[in-house]
Amino acid sequence: MKFRRLQRRTLALIAVIAPLVALFVYVALRSGPLASVPVTVTTTELRALAPALSGIGTVQARYKYKIGPIHAGRVERLDVHVGDAVKAGQVLGEMAPVDLDERIGAQQAAIKSAEAALRQAEARQTFAQTQANRYERLLAERITSEENTAIKRQELAVANAALWAAREDASRMRAELAALRAQRSNLRLVAPVAGLVTARHADPGTTVVAGQAVVEVIDPASLWVDARFDQISAAGLAAGLPTRIVLRSRRGQDQPGRVLWIEPQADAVTEETLAKIVFDTPLSPLPPVGELAEVTVQLPELPATPTIPNAAIRAVDGKRGVWKLTDGKLAFMPVVFGRSDLDGHVQVEKGLAAGDQLVVYSEKALTARSRTHVVDRLPGVSP
Amino acid sequence: MSARGIRIENLSKRFGAGDTAVLALKDVTMQVAPGEVVGLIGPSGSGKSTLLKCLGAVIDPTSGRMILDDTAIYDDRWKVRDLGALRRDKIGFVFQAPYLIPFLDATDNVALLPMLAGVPNDEARQRARELLTALDVQHRAQAMPSQLSGGEQQRVAIARGLVNRPPVILADEPTAPLDSQRAMAVIRILNDMARRFETAIIVVTHDEKIIPTFKRIYHIRDGVTHEEAGEGRGLD
Amino acid sequence: MISLAGRDILHAWGKFIFTGIGLGLLIGVTLTMAGLYRGMVNDGKVLLDNSGADLWVVQKDTLGPYAESSSIPDDLWRSIRAMPGVAQTANVTYLTMQVGKGDEDVRAMVVGITAGEPGVPGWPPHLVAGRQITRGHYEAVADLATGFQVGDVLRIRRNRYTVVGSTRRMVSSNGDPMVFIPLKDAQEAQFLKDNDAILMQRRRTEANPAFNRPGVPDLLDAVIDSQTSNSYVNAVLVRIRPESTSQEVADPIRRWKRLTVYDRAQMEDILVGKLIATSARQIGMFLMILALVSAAIVAFIIYTLTMDKIREIAVLKLIGTRNRTIAAMILQQSLVLGVIGFVVGKITATFAAPLFPKYVLLVPIDSVMGFLALLAICVLSSVVAIRMALKIDPAEAIG
């Protein structure tokens, strides 16, 4: 009877103490450095990787024409605005001719004057010819002297020469006129190809220097992406590879394209390889030149090899490898890796076989002495 | 005169020194034989508490002799070294209030004393149970003091006083809080126990109800005692 | 002999457990505070561990990328790579800034990691979800403490980054969680301010006749381009060959490249000794105070418990209980109280630790020392109580 009383009391106390002790033991073992590290595992899988390269670039026009005067001058008029479509040969604007028009007029007058002089020379030559013929006939009939005939012959020769000089003079005048006209037409800014006006750098009335671009025209059909790839991840980049282009303003849409060529000169400062990517079909509406784009170049699929997720790659003492789990024991395995794809799968060339179990995620850094237990998902991570 | 029981000769107790000294006990002489229940009656301030404390080896007397069970325990100074052991083994206490240990049940309250003396637990509890039965509270043996009635508590306290079979029991106003029926019951028990276990019992009281039961009474006034015959009735 | 202490505890168990829990909460707070201190120091260590570097090369006479801003050209790594004993180098940038997601933003340390593969210094050494960065731009790995999960889209300056992987316990020495992005994007983020500032700068450059020469049409564009590019990084992380010592590798770099190089021990000294020192000391002092207060309260509680039992102790003494027995009762009770308190305290501390915004590190040695200290306090305070108990006059029981 006595024991029953005592036992009841003791039991009640144990009911309070026991969970406390249990909690304490749990706390001691499961948290802090004594605890075992939760890890997730995976096995090496045979997978045919489809590697891809990722780069960024800007939309550029392949051909960009900067149209401007070859002499310093003032812009007289511009007929186009940004965004206008122009045809080949279309006049876009004109520089101020200054005195060219007057000089052309002067030249035209000079031509007329030279033609008049030419007619004059022709008339003289005709006369001299007639005279010379007559004196030749007279000489033949011994009516006139040798000297007179010689004089007439000489006059003919002089008149011929004068006529020839007058003709050349007129030609020269015409050539100079043509030169002035050419100069005059140079003042016109003409679109070399059909395209789109992308910039108007100077408005009418502005003085520009020789070579300064007044209007820029691009060929919209020739838009490409000027892409840059980190050299370290540009293995396999080659012309002709299919590419997916995502413009910054059109995030959800993939535009198909392909690599046109790889620039022979890389950027040594930024350590990037440059390449040009063209769109398979022209885009409409046109993306603005200079818009950022992300490109993904699809490389040909590789034969199936054992692969692991790149989250499993760890470095211990400078060697890269993975933590292998064999029968619950942890061991670090240095691995030689091959190619990888953009989803994080990496080929294993040496060090692991298909079906080997390895640690992917771990709560803490692992050492050879760590105790681990396998979970499906680490705590705190949402699925 | 029997050699057992308790005998006091010329016991004096002085408090303080010099001019402020108070003589609480003056040459007190008393004796109680085994099996006897004597009353010690006196007004407050008469020195009866002091006498009890001296008898109980709780305070040191100033001079005199105390002989317990034929052994002088005090002769102008203590003759035993371990007063605690003396109290535990030779003197039983019954107080006005039961003063039970609240976290021990009735049996263990009583059994604690023998256990303190080194008696094995089972035997101690056995003795306790016997006494509780003798005092008719065995049905409450497992109860905690808070669950006992006043009278039951008092009986357990008496049992505790008796459990080590001390030669002398000092009872200080044991019936003060009780009504006449229960007071008589307690006195009857004390007499019963005294007879049975041959214990000398000194009952300090001024309870009118029980005074007539004493065969011998010691009156004490201003530290002086004198013996008187009591009526000795009412115990049947 | 029955155990008086045990019986008393059994009888008044509610009071004991209650007192124990109260004590335990106090002890839990003390343990947590110790954990806070250790967590701060650990933040610094973890930062160094996670970088995977043996040496840090920074701008001359600066305190390294974490304690002070350091700027070195981003092609410097090539000359360091060629030095003897160097196994691997990696550029890295660090910038503590606000990283946005939706409407909210979070303070994080944005780490620019050099292009390459996992295992390169600076790259997160292990993940808890997702994968490492594979694209050269606009991907990020974020620590879970930022609140970002795999698949979230972050906003850093003007660019958007997709979180492809998650880490845990990748923090700066301040406790700010890390976000890893490709180095080129980080360089841009570190340098580029918002669009308005860029426009202002462009206008100012255009207005400057030295740059805006009519005879040289492309000069302005070239100048603006150079102003908006950034070719600097904060540090070069170096891993040395196993057969070399850090001293051997660091000295030539210091001497010939005129840069400052720190090894692991020096970095730790800078981080813990300079960066964290004041806060750590602050917490350390508070910890002392808390420990003293806890000790005082434990002592007070045990003293009070004993005082409650004066009458029983007097009776026990009167009926002949040995002093030793009474002393043992008080001592045992105080030890039991201490144990209950410690158990409750340890449990509380363990469950409270993850709730703190910064890392709280509870190490076993702290718990063990705390336990021993608590027992010592219990013993000492029970000594005081015992002395008081033994002085009690049994005569009081008689009244």
CB C149 within 8 A of CB C79: no
- Give the nearest partner residue to B49 out of C4, C321, C398, using CB atoms: C398
Asked if B218 has any chain C CB less than 8 Å from its own CB, the reply is no
Distance from CA of B156 to the nearest CA of A (A): 16
Using the Cβ of C130 and the Cβ atoms of chain A, whether some distance falls under 8 Å is answered with: yes
Nearest to C119 among A34, A270, A315 (CB): A315
Q: Is B119 on the interface with C (CB under 8 A)?
A: no
Q: Tell me which chain A residue has its CA closest to the CA of residue C184.
A: A270
Distance CA B34, CA C116 (A): 105
Query: pLDDT tens digits for C73-85?
Result: 888 898 899 888 9
- B141·A5 Cβ contact <8 A: no
Interface contact B27, partner C, CB < 8 A? no
Does the pLDDT of residue B3 top 60, yes or no? no
Using the Cβ of A3 and the Cβ atoms of chain B, whether some distance falls under 8 Å is answered with: no
On the 0-12 / 13-18 / 19+ scale of CB atoms within 10 A, C43 is: buried
Verify whether the Cβ–Cβ distance C319 to B172 is below 8 Å.
Answer: no
Neighboring chains of C (3 or more beta-carbon pairs < 8 A):
A, B
pLDDT at residue A31, as a whole number: 67
Cα–Cα distance for residue pair C141/C148, rounded to 1 Å:
9
Note the pLDDT of residue C304: 87
Higher pLDDT, C108 or C397: C108
Q: Mean pLDDT over residues C211-215, rounded?
A: 76
**Which residues of B have a CB under 8 Å from any CB of A?**
105, 107, 125, 141-142
Report d(CA C195, CA C213) in Å as an integer: 25
B16-53 per-residue burial string, b: 16 or more CB within 10 A, e: under 16: eeeeeeebbbbebbbbbbbbbbbbbbbeeebbbbbbbb
Closest CA to C399 of A302, B49, A343: B49
How far is the alpha carbon of B162 from chain A, nearest alpha carbon, in Å?
22
Residue B132 has pLDDT above 70, yes or no: yes
CB-closest option in C131, C215, C346 to A311? C131
Gap between the Cα atoms of C23 and C337, Å rounded: 8
| Residue B172 contacts C where some CB pair is shorter than 8 Å | yes
* Chain B CA closest to residue A4: B142
Q: Given CA atoms A57, A59, A65, A68 in this order, what sign does their dihedral have? A: negative
pLDDT band at C158 (very low <50, low <70, confident <90, very high): confident
Answer yes or no: is pLDDT of C4 > 70. Answer: yes
Comparing CB atoms, the residue among C2, C315, C398 nearest residue B108 is C2
The pLDDT of C122-134, averaged and rounded, is: 92
Structure-token match 């309250």, residue found: B109
Cβ–Cβ of C134/A311 closer than 8 Å? no
pLDDT of residue C109: 93
Per-residue model confidence (pLDDT) at position A161: 92
> Across the interface, do C128 and A232 touch by the CB < 8 Å criterion?
no
Residue C2 with chain A: CB contacts under 8 Å: none
Which residue in the block uniquely carries the two structure tokens 């106390």? A13
Taking a C-beta distance cutoff of 8 angstroms, is the pair B168, B90 a contact?
yes
Q: With a cut of 50, say whether residue C21 has pLDDT above it.
A: yes
3-state SS assignment for residue C286: helix
Q: Please provide the distance, in angstroms rounded to a whole number, between the alpha carbons at the two ends of chain B.
A: 27
pLDDT(B1) > 60:
no
C398: pLDDT strictly greater than 80: no
Q: Which residues of A touch B107 (CB under 8 A)?
A: 2
Give pTM, 2 decimals.
0.74
Q: Which chains neighbour A (Cβ–Cβ under 8 Å, 3 or more pairs)?
A: B, C
In the numeric block, the tokens 């120091």 are attached to: C41
Interface size between A and B, measured as CB pairs under 8 A: 9
Residues A84, A346 contacting (CB under 8 angstroms): no
Q: How far is CA A370 from CA A35, A229, A324, A363, C183, in A?
A: 9, 40, 13, 11, 33
Q: C201, C210 in Cβ contact below 8 A?
A: no
Tell whether omega for the bond before A285 is within 30 degrees of 0, i.e. cis.
yes
Least CB-CB distance to C319: which of B53, B87, B172? B87
What does the alpha-carbon distance between residue C314 and residue C320 come to, in Å, rounded to a whole number?
Answer: 10
Q: Does residue B33 carry a pLDDT above 80?
A: yes
C118, C144, C353 ranked by CB distance to A313: nearest: C118
Per CB-CB distance under 8 Å, the chain A contacts of B125 are 2
Residue B2 pLDDT level (bands cut at 50, 70, 90): very low
pLDDT at B120 over 70: yes
The pLDDT tens digits along chain A (383 residues) read: 455 556 776 777 777 778 878 888 777 776 666 678 888 988 888 888 888 999 999 999 888 899 988 888 889 899 899 988 999 989 988 888 888 888 889 999 999 999 999 999 999 999 999 988 888 888 888 888 888 888 888 988 999 999 999 999 999 999 999 998 888 888 888 899 999 898 898 889 888 888 888 899 998 888 899 999 988 888 889 899 999 999 988 888 888 999 999 999 988 877 889 999 999 888 878 888 889 999 999 998 889 888 999 999 998 888 888 999 888 788 898 999 888 888 889 999 888 887 888 999 998 888 888 888 888 888 888 77
> Per the CB < 8 Å rule, is C10 touching A31?
no
A369 inside 8 A of chain B by CB: no
Return the DSSP state at C121.
T
Residues of C in Cβ contact (< 8 Å) with B115: 1-2
Closest Cβ opposite residue B58 in set C4, C315, C398: C398
Rg, chain B, Cα only: 17
Contact B141 A1 (CB under 8 A): yes
Q: Residue C142 has what pLDDT?
A: 95
* Non-local CB neighbours of A6 within 8 Å, separated by 6+ positions: C10
What was the pLDDT predicted at C148? 92
User: With contacts defined as CB-CB under 8 Å, which chain C residues touch B85?
Assistant: 320
Distance CA(A320)–CA(B4), nearest Å, equals 97
How far A225 CA sits from the closest chain C CA (Å)?
A: 16
A195 residue type, one letter: G
The string of DSSP codes covering C64-119 is: HHHHS---EETTHHHHHHTSTTEEEEEEEEEEEEEEEETTEEEEEEEEEE-SS-TT
For residue A6, the model assigns a pLDDT of: 62
Closest CA to B142 of B158, B125, B159: B125
Least confident segment among A92-106, B171-185, C22-36, C134-148: B171-185
Backbone angles phi, psi at A62, to 5 degrees: -65, -45
Q: Burial level of C243, CB count in 10 A (0-12/13-18/19+)?
A: exposed
For chain C, first and last CA: distance in Å? 28
B144 touches chain C (CB under 8 A): yes
Nearest Cα residue in chain B from A2 = B142
Closest C-alpha to C159, from C116, C224, C112, C127: C112
**Dist. CA A48–CA C218, nearest whole Å:** 49
CB-nearest to C215 from A32, A209, A313 is A209
Q: Indicate yes or no: CB of C320 within 8 angstroms of CB of B85.
A: yes
| Distance from the C318 Cα atom to the nearest Cα atom in chain B, whole angstroms | 7
Give the DSSP per-residue string, B141-163.
TT--GGGS-HHHHHHHHHHHHHT
A-C Cβ pairs (cutoff 8 Å, strict): 140
- Name the amino acid, one letter, at C273: G
CB pair distance less than 8 Å for A56 and C10: no
Shortest Cα distance from B148 to chain A (angstroms)? Answer: 16
Residue C215 near residue C209, CB atoms below 8 Å: no
Chain A contact present for C357, CB below 8 A: no
Q: Residue A378 is nearest to which of C13, C129, C134, comparing CB atoms? A: C129
Q: A361 and C149: CB-CB below 8 Å?
A: no
Within 8 A of C316 by CB-CB distance, chain B residues are 101
Could B107 and A5 be called an inter-chain contact, meaning their C-beta atoms sit closer than 8 Å? no
Determine, for residues C127 and A343 on separate chains, whether the beta-carbon distance falls below 8 Å.
Answer: no
Taking residue C252's Cβ as centre, other Cβ atoms within 10 Å add up to 15
Distance from CA of A2 to the nearest CA of B (A): 6
Which chain B residue's Cα is nearest to C7?
Answer: B103
Distance from CA of B111 to the nearest CA of A (A): 13
CB within 8 Å of C75: residues ≥ 6 apart: A269, C231
Helix (H, G, I), strand (E, B) or coil at C345: helix
Tell me whether C341 touches chain A (CB under 8 Å).
Answer: no
The ipTM estimated for the assembled molecules is 0.76
With a cut of 80, say whether residue B145 has pLDDT above it: yes
> What whole-number distance in Å separates Cα of residue A248 and Cα of residue A255?
12
Does B88 reach chain C within 8 Å, measured CB to CB? Answer: yes
CB atoms within 10 A of CB A358: 25
Whether B35 contacts B64, CB under 8 Å: no
Q: Which residues contact C72 (CB under 8 A, 6 or more apart)?
A: C57, C58, C59, C232, C233, C234, C235, C236, C259
Residues 6+ apart with CB under 8 A from C387: none
Report whether A325 contacts A314 (CB < 8 A).
no
Q: Which residue of A has its CA nearest to C366?
A: A32
Condensed to tens digits (0 to 9), the pLDDT of residues C275-332 reads 778 888 888 898 889 888 888 888 888 888 888 888 888 888 877 788 888 889 888 9
DSSP state of C391: T
Task: For residue B126, give how far its alpha carbon lies from the nearest alpha carbon of chain A (Å).
Answer: 12
pLDDT of residue A1: 46
Amino acid type, A379: P
C134–A341 CB contact, under 8 Å: yes
Q: Is B176 on the interface with C (CB under 8 A)?
A: no
